[in-house]
Structures are given as structure tokens and as C-alpha cells.
Amino acid sequence: MKRDIVFLGTGYALALNCYNSCFVIRNNNEYFMVDAGGGNQILKLLKDTKIDIDKIHDLFVTHTHTDHVLGVIWVMRSILQKMKAGKYEGSLRIFSHEKVLNLLKTICTATLPKKLVALMNERVMFNELTDGSDFQSCGMSFKAFDILSTKEKQYGFTALFEDGLKLSYLGDEPFNEHCESYVTDSDYLITEAFCLYKDRDIYKPYEKHHSTAKDAAECASKLRAKNIILFHTEDNDLKNRKETYTKEASEYFSGNVFVPDDLEVICLETQ
């Protein structure tokens, strides 16, 4: 069984030195994409990771912020072009809450050629999720949940693999206890960590409703996660980010700490 996470982007909304946070869960030969960053660079990143866009059939979109949703428009456009050319089999399924789905439909209808919009109406399946929704994708069982964002309606999810491995994504805001029952005892916990705790006066994470590496690590420990993956960070010191964030998080979390760079692949292993 081959399964991993391909991190296409790892930075926060206004990152200049890396791409916005988004990733693909790869389970054998199936691909589950989560967000797409803020621009058409997503197409090059997929190419760089050798993920053929015609292999992407399921896409989860967390919320409507530009750094998460605008890249989805480019993914949809590329897939619709392949559909039109007869180079894409089946449908594209998009999973999210009502606000995201309505926004995607509105932007595509207003900006794409009519022939592509007609294909979208025929072959793009917009799957509306509510808090606690269950769905199946790429050999995994998913449960979506409202993270109760303080800024914009946003969903996270838990994915359960066939052998019981549990992967949870908390979204890009601090953990809310409403989600505890969904994500406790995760084998891998993906969470934002906007900056180091020692740099909190510089980056003001709490004013932006974000966490530090220390906060994320303490949360992961409380939730009994086995591994924690930190991303959606500031991007001013990428050369040392992996080392410094890992060091800080490891002081408060006894499991494995991963701080991926753009295009890095993390293998998912049963503990």
C-alpha cells in the first residue's frame, strides 16, 4: 500500500517565498486534493510533482479566502479543457459547504467560456457538506466538520484509511473544542502554525486568529496525536523554518513533528 501527502504549498495568505497552503492525499493511484492556493501556479506545482491533473477527481475546499479558493478556479478550468478535448474521464467532484460551492459556480460562470460552463454543469458534481457530513473518496472514509472559524465559514475533515490509519486536518485557524470528538487520537494531525512563539510579538498570530508552533504542539499533545504536521506559516526564513519550527514544537509534543517545504512528500505509515 502506497500512501502519502504531497504538499504543493505551505505558506500563509500573503507568502512570497513559497506557495499558499494546499496538498494532495495520494492513496495508491488515487488523488484527493485539498484547496489549491491563490493562483495558476498550482498548475505548475502539480506538474512539478508529476501529478497529472486528469487523475484528480475529488477536491475538498475549506473556505472562500483567496489563498485557498482562487487556485481551484484554475484547476477547474484546466480539467474542463481536458474534458472538452476528450482527455478526462468521468466527473470532477468538489466537496465543501454551500458558500464555497456557490462562489465557485459564480466565478466560473462569469469568467469561463460558455462551452466550459456547459461542461461544468454536466460533469462537475458540487457536493454540499454540513457539519458532521460523511463521504467516501479514494479508498478513504471522510467526516467533514465546521471548525467554527472566527473569520469565515470553514470546514476541516478526518480521513480514515482501510487499515484504520486516521488523518485529520484542522484548517487554518486554532483548534476549537467543538472538533475534539472528530480529531482525537489521530495518527497524523495537520494544523496551521503561523509563527514561532518567540516571534509572536513580530507576527501577531493571535490578532490574526492563528497559532504558534508551541500552541499547535500543545494542542496535538492534548488530542493524543501520534504525528503533527505544521504548515500555513510565515515565509521570512524558509531556509531555517524546518529546523526552528521542529525544535519549538518538539519541546511540547513527544511524537514526530513534520514541517514540510513546498513539493515535499510525507509518507503515511501505520504506527
Query: pLDDT digit string (tens) for 129-166?
Result: 999 999 999 999 999 999 999 899 999 999 999 999 99
pLDDT at 170: 97
Average pLDDT in the chain: 97
Res. 222 pLDDT band, cuts 50 70 90: very high
Q: Across residues 89-99, what is the average pLDDT?
A: 98
pLDDT at 270: 78
**Which residues sit opposite 256 in a β-bridge?**
227
Q: Across residues 247-253, what is the average pLDDT?
A: 98
Nearest residue to 245 via CA among 253, 121, 64, 184: 253
Sketch out the chain's domains with CATH numbers: 1-130 (3.60.15.10)
Res. 2 pLDDT band, cuts 50 70 90: confident
**pLDDT tens column, 34-56:** 999 999 999 999 999 999 999 99
Evaluate if residue 171 carries a pLDDT over 70.
Answer: yes
Give the span between the Cα atoms of 242 and 60, in whole angstroms.
Answer: 26
Please indicate, yes or no, whether the overall pTM of this predicted structure exceeds 0.75. yes
Reported as half-sphere exposure (CB side, CA atoms, 13 A), residue 195 has a value of 19
**pLDDT tens column, 68-86:** 999 999 999 999 999 999 9
CA dihedral (210, 216, 220, 222) positive or negative: negative
pLDDT at 68: 98
Residue type, 74: W
The CA-atom distances, in angstroms, between 168 and each of 44, 92, 225 are 27, 23, 9
| Strand ordering across the sheet containing 265-267 | 124-128, 92-96, 56-60, 30-34, 22-27, 3-9, 265-267
CA dihedral (194, 253, 164, 53) positive or negative: positive
Please, are residues 88 and 77 in contact by the beta-carbon 8 Å criterion? no
Evaluate if residue 271 carries a pLDDT over 70.
Answer: no
Long-range contacts of 129-135 (CB under 8 A, 24+ apart): 129/95, 129/96, 129/97, 129/155, 130/97, 131/155, 135/95
The angle subtended at Cα 61 by Cα 58 and Cα 63, nearest 5°, is 170
**pLDDT tens column, 179-218:** 999 999 999 999 999 999 999 999 999 999 999 999 999 9
pLDDT at 193: 98
Please, are residues 180 and 147 in contact by the beta-carbon 8 Å criterion? no
Q: Across residues 92-110, what is the average pLDDT?
A: 98
pLDDT at 1: 65
pLDDT at 58: 98
Nearest residue to 126 via CA among 108, 109, 102: 102
